[in-house]
Structure 1
Amino acid sequence: MKTSGNLYQTGEVVTISKTEEPVTISKYQYIKHMKKFSYIVMEYPNTFYFEEELQKA
């Protein structure tokens, strides 16, 4: 189910823009005070990424 505004869904394979490494979205949340979504990927569970750091695979 798509939440209004987010680009990527849980389970979706995306690419980290900087390294071009494919990763899988494990969860996401909206950061209200920053007005954007952050994403946690399965491969790096202790790191979060913003939409502009990821791209469709």
Structure 2
Amino acid sequence: MQRVYEADSSPRGPVTAALLVRPDGCIAWASDHADPAALQAALTDEYTSMTR
């Protein structure tokens, strides 16, 4: 089962707009720009690689 969690925090340093963190804690994707299409592509790539 796949789950997507959204978290918000107050950064104290350089800001990363979006992160995709795998269940094992590894960062699968990061971006300085909140781009929904790029996030969707990263989710699709990550899910596809996990189901092979």
In which range does the TM-score fall when normalised by the shorter chain? under 0.3
Relative to its length, the structure with more strand (as a share) is: 1
TM norm structure 1: 0.24
Higher relative contact order (CA 8 A, sep 6+): 1
- Look at both structures and tell me which one has the larger radius of gyration over its CA atoms: 2
TM norm structure 2: 0.25
